[in-house]
Structure 1
Amino acid sequence: MLGVIMSGHGAFASGMEAAMLQVLGEQEQVIAIDFPPESTTQLLEQQFKAALEQVDTGDGIVFITDLLGGSPFRIASTLVMARNDAEVVTGANLQMILEMMLERDELTPAEFRVQALECGHRGMTSLADELANRSRAECANEGI
């Protein structure tokens, strides 16, 4: 099973973890690491390295971060570049995290990355778009 390290600015990671636990229950090999304003990039790197040792069982690692170009993304990226069994996915949303926690035991890190991006995009919608899609589907079912 892939190990997952979630991180982001402020309480992003612990908030996503709490929501994930509420919906899915306890998840193995998942660590959430917040990056509050008083933290430093050196401390975050140390936390990531310690988390890697905890969740890495040899099946691969995926970092899930909040923001492209942010400190959690950049530090995770430098750690992943030294490995061939790890990926970084950024721009996370709860839809993507929930779906991917249920799928990760059958995926390689690269497959996880591809599927996570699809899940994340699918989770981005609006009420107007969903109602329009439903209307189109109803018309198609009625042969209109």
Structure 2
Amino acid sequence: MCRLLLLSHSELSRSFYDTAELIMGRPDPQVSYIVLPYGQDMDIYQKAIEETVASAETDGILILTDLFGGSPFMITSRVYGKYHTTVPMEIVCGMNLSMVIETVAALKQSVSLGRLKEIALEAGRKGIVDFSERLQSQYQKKGGTPYEH
């Protein structure tokens, strides 16, 4: 079964994990997070990520990071360079709560690493909604404007 690792600046990854737990119940043990507090020694941070990646072995690991180009991503890209030939891994940047919830749920279905990445990307995109646009679209289907009702 694939693993899921949440990485972010500060406590955001822990907050995503805790929120997923609040919504869905405790995630399976293959879901984990590593926080990056201010002033963290980057070698220690990288070692923690490497240990989690190495434990994924042949099943693979999907790593969600908060920002493309941020420290969690940069360290993860180093880990990728070191382990990608021995441990199947994928990295998705721009983590949001929709993405986390859907990937945690998908892990329970024992999906492949490639499919898990697709689910994360799709859920992340679908989780971003322009409410005004959505409202306008709904009322146009019914005829009229949202402000006429």
What is the percent sequence identity of the aligned residues?
Answer: 24
1:33-54, Cα deviation, whole Å (9 max, x unpaired): 1111120221110111222344
**Which letter does structure 1 place at the counterpart of 2:79?**
L
Distance across 2 between alignment mates of 1:51 and 1:4:
10
SS at 1:9's partner residue? Answer: coil
1:20-78, Cα deviation, whole Å (9 max, x unpaired): 11011111211111111120221110111222344x26321011110001111112122
Task: Give the direction of change, closer, same or farther, for the CA distance of 1:2–1:138 in structure 2 (3 Å limit).
Answer: farther
Distance across 2 between alignment mates of 1:103 and 1:18:
17
Tell me the equivalent position of 1:95: 98
Tell me the equivalent position of 1:80: 80
What 5-or-longer segments of structure 2 have no aligned partner?
A: 144-149
Distance across 1 between alignment mates of 2:138 and 2:43:
49
Tell me the equivalent position of 2:147: none
Coordinate RMSD, CA, aligned = 1.8
Following superposition of structure 1 onto structure 2, how do residues 38-57 of structure 1 map, counting pairs within 5 Å? 38-54=39-55, 56=56
Distance across 2 between alignment mates of 1:98 and 1:137:
30
Is the Cα contact below 8 Å between 2:102 and 2:119 reproduced in 1? no
Distance across 1 between alignment mates of 2:7 and 2:61:
13
Tell me the equivalent position of 1:112: 116
Distance across 1 between alignment mates of 2:46 and 2:137:
44
Deviation, 1:111, is: 2.3
Worse overlay, 15-24 or 102-111: 102-111
What 5-or-longer segments of structure 1 have no aligned partner?
A: 140-144
Indicate which of 125, 128, 143 corresponds to 1:124: 128
Task: Give the direction of change, closer, same or farther, for the CA distance of 1:137–1:58 in structure 2 (3 Å limit).
Answer: farther
Structure 1 runs of 4+ off > 6 angstroms? none
Distance across 2 between alignment mates of 1:119 and 1:52:
23
TM-score calculated relative to the size of structure 2: 0.83
TM-score calculated relative to the size of structure 1: 0.86
Is the Cα contact below 8 Å between 2:17 and 2:33 reproduced in 1? yes
Is the Cα contact below 8 Å between 2:99 and 2:124 reproduced in 1? yes
**Which letter does structure 1 place at the counterpart of 2:38?**
P
Is the Cα contact below 8 Å between 1:3 and 1:57 reproduced in 2? no
**Which letter does structure 2 place at the counterpart of 1:11?**
E
Tell me the equivalent position of 1:8: 8
Equivalenced residue count is 138
